[in-house]
Amino acid sequence: MTARFVAKRSSGGAESVFCRAARRERVERTPVWFMRQAGRVLPEYRAVRERFSLVEICRRPDLCAEVTLQPLRRMPLDAAVLFSDIVLPLIAIGVDVEIVDGVGPVVRDAVRDAAGVRRLRAVEPNEDLPYLTETIRLLARELHPQRAVLGFAGAPFTLASYLIEGRASRHFLRTKQMLYANPALWHELMSRLTSITVATLRAQVRAGADAVQLFDSWVGALGPADYAEFVQPHVRRIFAELAPEGVPMVHFGVHTAGLLDLMKDDGATIIGLDWHLLLDEAWERIGHDLGVQGNLDPAALFGPPNALERRAADVLARAANRPGHIFNLGHGLHPETPLANVMHLVDFVHNESTRLRSAAATAAFASP
Amino acid sequence: MTARFVAKRSSGGAESVFCRAARRERVERTPVWFMRQAGRVLPEYRAVRERFSLVEICRRPDLCAEVTLQPLRRMPLDAAVLFSDIVLPLIAIGVDVEIVDGVGPVVRDAVRDAAGVRRLRAVEPNEDLPYLTETIRLLARELHPQRAVLGFAGAPFTLASYLIEGRASRHFLRTKQMLYANPALWHELMSRLTSITVATLRAQVRAGADAVQLFDSWVGALGPADYAEFVQPHVRRIFAELAPEGVPMVHFGVHTAGLLDLMKDDGATIIGLDWHLLLDEAWERIGHDLGVQGNLDPAALFGPPNALERRAADVLARAANRPGHIFNLGHGLHPETPLANVMHLVDFVHNESTRLRSAAATAAFASP
């Protein structure tokens, strides 16, 4: 176990399958959870959303915990990921963001100058996000010690892109324009967002989260040189400041195949992989002293069960019983995904990974 | 020179800097062209578009040749890429596609069943696309022998995705659903589109195109296993059937970092690289017996000149005077790109690559 893997075993879910796998210990089966597992794929979630907005749910710990737990009541998922949105901390410090169905966050006054950047004050989680930590406490009480509670926050690049573009962007031209034309302002913006991210994640861990995931969904828009210069220092600060908390830390982005050689050294203990590369090759490049999470194409859940099983089995075969694999999709569940396929996949991953382990044990026993 | 690089020197532009570089011969400077160089970035193009639709332009060889040549009248670009659209051959065989400004191709009757696939008949270029070959002839007359004429066509995956989804898609769920649920129908669709692509490219070469580019813009939506199973056989057929024509063949897609290990063996003589990976590392993986094209982030053209020059110089430094590099962007020019920056970039690439070569020659001379 290398230095960067010193994880204390103090969290309430530290002995769950998820946490043991996340620490790269041997486990009896591969743990599985899905990004966006709590959400529109579930009819019971859609029923809640008829009465409450996404932000209203997040601000009511009882309701937020219930929504977070909904998928675990249906399926034996190994972790509950806090139901939230990456812009929640921004809303909490007064940024005028609306979360529009089918569009995502829409920022009324896009941040494009020094005055806009200066308005981004620090987050005081106890004051600004009391509901977030309270929800984590409720989840910990419900799930520990068998299952893990996973906290999360948006990464500064992805947050910055929403603030600068005003909404989800295809080409990130204004964002890149700022980092090319005004690197000092860019770094000031990133620095403030980094502080917000650290405070948000640290509060979740101290409230009982067993692990955290940094969502840098759009960082793959950058080439490696721009990542190294404009993002990496901030991501490294996040993981360095969180490392003393002693929980596994996942770094996830989409289209990061060209960035993995950089990301692997940024301090995360687990790299979240999308589906655009083969898990075994990516893990080889990242190094086996880190864990990996992923990496089934979320579209596979739209196929027939045999096609879905074949692809999920391929992911598990490439993980090859190696300690440190957490099964997930390569990105979030699409809202229109057939729920029966999602439930089937959880069982398949558990059964198939158990079978692979027992086959490997038999082979080891049989060999001279 | 390996077998897959046998390029005859019969085309009229075969001794242009572009073609010599494309055959991985030593050249005095790095050739440069841009995807979408003819188009909305030019005011003279926008003036033409006030009177003619995109398809009208394509169908009038004089006008189409003029639009294709517009950027070369402004800048010393090394190749003219036929002004066209990847759906043009589909329109020519009766598919009801409209090219909508700011949206791209919109297909009225999306292809989702066997009847839809069967309606895709073969293309007879002389009958169906006489204007395409006539435009190439006009271009060859104007540009040869100094500059190269580059033909192009859409790749079957990208065409299939438009036909199935009905328009540009973010997640390609219907496309993937077909390949998961009905692989036989998928392969039949791909097979028909492959025939269309081959016929379109072959006709362009025989009319005088010095090289061709296969645009598989969206193929990066697939993971490597799906590429290997559902796309690769068809792409290989394209390059195998075109190889006897003896011209350099570029294979381009976006977000292909995870697919390069497969694409390198598909028969293209040059791989087009987007900006999400470092050119030297990608070339190493592809192998130096193939050429590479790319790979500046098109967004770099929105930055100040010093930031732009720094990034273009980095691309050239990574190409390291190695024979077989064609400078390009990692994807098409954005319509809003400042034209002055585009013109500056062409000069910069020519000057800087000349300087790098002379510096290398001096160093070689000085070394014992």
> What structural domains does chain B harbor?
13-366 (3.20.20.210)
Closest C-alpha to A156, from A115, A200, A118, A113: A200
> Which residues in chain A are closer than 8 Å to B297, comparing Cβ atoms?
176, 222-223, 226
CA dihedral A348, A351, A356, A362 (to 10 degrees): -160
Cα separation, A4 vs A91, whole angstroms: 33
Given the residues A20, A29, A36, A59, select the one marked as catalytic. A36
pLDDT recorded at residue B312: 98
> Which residues in chain A are closer than 8 Å to B226, comparing Cβ atoms?
297
Cα angle for residues A126, A132, A133 (degrees, 5° grid): 60
Q: Which residue of A has its CA nearest to B221?
A: A276
Chain mean position to CA A1: 23
> Which residues in chain A are closer than 8 Å to B255, comparing Cβ atoms?
220, 255, 257, 276
Helix axes A232-242, A183-207, angle to 10 degrees: 20
Cα separation, A164 vs B53, whole angstroms: 34
Helix (H, G, I), strand (E, B) or coil at A127: helix
Torsion sign across C-alpha atoms A45, A48, A49, A55 = negative
A255-297: pLDDT as tens digits = 999 999 999 999 999 999 999 999 999 999 999 999 999 999 9
Question: Which residues neighbour A273 within 8 Å (Cβ) at sequence distance 6 or greater?
Answer: A256, A279, A282, A292, A293, A294, A295, A330
Mean pLDDT, chain B, rounded, equals 95
Q: Which residue of B has its CA nearest to A312?
A: B225
pLDDT recorded at residue B3: 41
What pLDDT band is residue B2 in, cutting at 50, 70 and 90? very low
Cα separation, A300 vs B271, whole angstroms: 28
Cα separation, B322 vs B119, whole angstroms: 47
Is pLDDT at B9 greater than 90 in this prediction? Answer: no
Closest C-alpha to A163, from A118, A115, A109: A109
> Which residues in chain B are closer than 8 Å to A224, comparing Cβ atoms?
276-278
H or E element at residue B201: helix B183-207
CA dihedral A203, A204, A207, A209 (to 10 degrees): -150
> Which residues in chain A are closer than 8 Å to B220, comparing Cβ atoms?
255, 276
pLDDT recorded at residue A1: 35
Tell me the two tokens of residue A103: 């569009």
Contacts 24+ apart (CB under 8 A), B97-104: B97/B162, B99/B53, B99/B54, B99/B55, B103/B167, B103/B168, B104/B162, B104/B167, B104/B168
Tell me the two tokens of residue A136: 């984590």
Q: Which residue of A has its CA nearest to B275?
A: A223
The answer to whether residues B215 and B152 touch, using CB atoms and an 8 Å cutoff, is yes
H or E element at residue B192: helix B183-207
* Å between A61 CA and nearest CA of chain B: 33
What are residue A293's DSSP bridge partners? Answer: A272, A326
Q: What is the DSSP string of A236-274?
A: HHHHHHHGGG---EEEE-SS-TTTHHHHTTSS-SEEE--
Helix (H, G, I), strand (E, B) or coil at B269: coil
Question: Which residues neighbour A58 within 8 Å (Cβ) at sequence distance 6 or greater?
Answer: A64, A83, A84, A85, A88, A131, A132, A135
* Å between A248 CA and nearest CA of chain B: 26
The answer to whether residues B185 and B114 touch, using CB atoms and an 8 Å cutoff, is yes
B300-314: pLDDT as tens digits = 999 999 999 999 999
- Residue of B276, B306, B308, B311 to mutate, interface with A, max A Cβ within 10 Å: B276
Residue in the block written with tokens 């970039």: B345
ipTM: 0.93
| Omega prior to A76 cis, within 30 of 0 | no
pLDDT recorded at residue B244: 97
Neighbours of A361 (CB within 10 A): 11
The answer to whether residues B62 and B18 touch, using CB atoms and an 8 Å cutoff, is no
pLDDT recorded at residue B184: 98
User: Strand B148-154 to strand A291-296: parallel, antiparallel, or no bridges (unpaired)?
Assistant: unpaired
What pLDDT band is residue B362 in, cutting at 50, 70 and 90? confident
Is pLDDT at B101 greater than 50 in this prediction? Answer: yes
Helix (H, G, I), strand (E, B) or coil at B131: helix
Closest C-alpha to A332, from A292, A247, A275, A266: A275
Which amino acid is residue A57, in one-letter code? Answer: I
Burial class (CB in 10 A: 0-12, 13-18, 19+), A123: buried
Nearest-by-Cβ selection for B302 from A176, A222, A225: A176
Is pLDDT at B1 greater than 60 in this prediction? Answer: no
Rounded mean pLDDT of B93-116? 94
Which amino acid is residue B112, in one-letter code? Answer: R
Q: Which parts of chain A have pLDDT scores under 50? A: 1-7
Closest C-alpha to B273, from B331, B360, B356, B194: B331
What are residue B212's DSSP bridge partners? Answer: B151, B249
The answer to whether residues B154 and B215 touch, using CB atoms and an 8 Å cutoff, is yes
Cα separation, A179 vs A230, whole angstroms: 7
**CA distances in angstroms from B35 to A290, B84, B148, B162, B246, listed in the order given:** 39, 11, 14, 20, 23
Percent of chain B exceeding pLDDT 70 equals 97
CB contact under 8 A, B220 and A303: no
Is pLDDT at B367 greater than 70 in this prediction? Answer: no
Closest C-alpha to A95, from A63, A115, A121: A121
The answer to whether residues A193 and A230 touch, using CB atoms and an 8 Å cutoff, is no
CB contact under 8 A, B276 and A299: no
> Which residues in chain B are closer than 8 Å to A220, comparing Cβ atoms?
255, 276
Rounded mean pLDDT of B7-11? 61
Contacts 24+ apart (CB under 8 A), B354-358: B354/B28, B354/B29, B356/B316, B356/B317, B356/B321, B357/B28, B357/B29, B357/B321
* Å between B141 CA and nearest CA of chain A: 37
CB contact under 8 A, B336 and A173: yes
Output phi, psi for A351, to 5 deg. -70, -45
For this structure, is B236 an active site residue?
no
Output phi, psi for A304, to 5 deg. -70, 160
Q: Which residue of A has its CA nearest to B257?
A: A257
Q: Which residue of B has its CA nearest to A274?
A: B223
Nearest-by-Cβ selection for A171 from B176, B177, B299: B299
Given the residues B20, B24, B29, B36, select the one marked as catalytic. B36
For this structure, is A167 an active site residue?
no
For this structure, is A46 an active site residue?
no
Tell me the two tokens of residue B39: 């188009």
For this structure, is B237 an active site residue?
no
Is pLDDT at B250 greater than 80 in this prediction? Answer: yes
Say which DSSP state A86 is in: T
Question: Do you know the residue count of chain B?
Answer: 368
Chain mean position to CA B61: 20
* Å between B238 CA and nearest CA of chain A: 23
Cα separation, A251 vs B284, whole angstroms: 27
Chain mean position to CA B318: 21
* Å between B255 CA and nearest CA of chain A: 7
B115-145: pLDDT as tens digits = 999 999 999 999 999 999 999 999 999 999 9
Cα separation, B31 vs B235, whole angstroms: 26
* Å between A177 CA and nearest CA of chain B: 6
CB contact under 8 A, B302 and A180: yes
Closest C-alpha to A250, from A211, A295, A296: A211
Question: In B, what residues contact A, Cβ < 8 A?
Answer: 171-173, 176-177, 180-181, 220, 222-226, 255, 257-259, 275-278, 297-300, 302-304, 307-308, 311, 314, 330, 334, 336
pLDDT recorded at residue A101: 86
Nearest-by-Cβ selection for B297 from A181, A220, A223: A223
For this structure, is B40 an active site residue?
yes
H or E element at residue A327: strand A325-329
Rounded mean pLDDT of B51-71? 97
Question: In A, what residues contact B, Cβ < 8 A?
Answer: 171-173, 176-177, 180-181, 220, 222-226, 255, 257-259, 275-278, 297-300, 302-304, 307-308, 311, 314, 330, 334, 336
Question: Which residues neighbour A147 within 8 Å (Cβ) at sequence distance 6 or greater?
Answer: A13, A16, A18, A72, A77, A78, A79, A80
Report the range of poorest mean pLDDT among A83-97, B40-54, B64-78, B352-366. Answer: B352-366
A311-330: pLDDT as tens digits = 999 999 999 999 999 999 99
